[in-house]
Amino acid sequence: MPISHLNNRDPLGRYGVGRNQNKLVRDYPIWNPSPDIQYLIADMWVLLNSVSVAVDRLGSSYRLSWLWGFGAGPAQALDPLLGYVGIHNKDIELQNNVGATLLRTSIAPFGAELSSVVFTERQLNARLSLVRWQLGGYYDIGVIYHTAWNDDIDVAPQEYASNFLPVSAKLFGGIVTLESTIGLYVKDGNSVTNVTELQHGHNTTLVKNSSVAPVSYTHLALPTNREV
């Protein structure tokens, strides 16, 4: 093993993934984490659809505000009224810098069915696992977390609570990204319905045409109609 790799280790045998350059940022992707979550998360992404996020939930920074199922230690005593009960093997909540909830994976946002949230979990290697929550084109969240200790170095392995609110778990910039998308709706009376496909009906033809660079477009032809 190259000696340079050993420089990336933290005292407890856990190390950040990828961006970890030295001890100053070994806690990536969490900035200056509190001991209750330190060394647990190795990498993370939060990808949000821009039309699905309420503007008032966006913030200058984001934090992990709740974790369910990541540890085997005693659960933190939480007020039941807060509803911090997971429905998947693991669930999380993200809050913005003023404490407003951006999303909670145990709750279906945007009026979607909770069953639409696809949860997957995969062991990546002997030390890391991936958990992922996906909701159609609305969001995609992945958390890579440590599952093993380095027995050669660690003398007092740390365990994590099975359900807890971390004291400090501010995410590095760039973990939460907003993807600019368009929400296409059909007006049906006073309501609108989300659209995924268009098809031609009576007296119409939908034509895909890419002759106008650089945009591919579809035009609606109404050959029999004329304006009077």
Partner 1 sequence: MATSAIWNVNWLVENTQRAYPLQYGPAAMDTTGTVSIPEDFLVQMQITVSYIYDPTAFYISKIIVVGTGFIVYLKNVLLSTFELPITIPSTAADFESFQFASDADQLNGSLTVGTLSSIASWPAGVWQFDPAVAMLESDVVRPTLAGLNRLYVRNGDTLSAPLTGYAVLDAGPNIRLSVQPTATGNLVTISAGTNPNYTQACLCGNGAVTQGIVSINGQTGDSNGNFNILGKGCYQFTPVANGIEITNVCTDPCCTCDQLEGVLKDVRDFGNGAASLEQYLVKIGEALERLQFVTQLNSAVITPCDS
Note the residues at the interface with partner 1 (CB under 8 A).
1-2, 4-5, 8, 15, 17-19, 21, 42-43, 45, 47, 49-51, 122, 124-125, 128, 130, 132, 134, 136-140, 142, 144, 177, 179-188, 192-204, 206, 212, 215, 217, 219-220, 222, 224-228
- Return the C-alpha torsion angle 143, 68, 97, 146, nearest 10: -40
Cβ closest to partner 1, residue 85 vs residue 200: 200
Cβ closest to partner 1, residue 61 vs residue 150: 150
Closest CA to 86 of 44, 50, 131, 145: 131
CB of 149 to partner 1, least distance (A): 15
CB of 58 to partner 1, least distance (A): 14
CB of 102 to partner 1, least distance (A): 16
Cβ closest to partner 1, residue 1 vs residue 77: 1
Cβ closest to partner 1, residue 89 vs residue 177: 177
Residues 207, 218: contact at Cβ < 8 Å? yes
β-strand pairing of 170-171 with 30-31: antiparallel
**Residue 130: phi, psi to the nearest 5?**
-115, 130
CB of 39 to partner 1, least distance (A): 15
Side chain identity at residue 6, one-letter code: L
CB of 156 to partner 1, least distance (A): 23
The CB density around residue 113, as the number of other CB atoms within 10 Å, is: 8
Cβ closest to partner 1, residue 82 vs residue 217: 217
CA 228 to CA 213: how far, in whole Å? 33
Residues 109, 52: contact at Cβ < 8 Å? yes
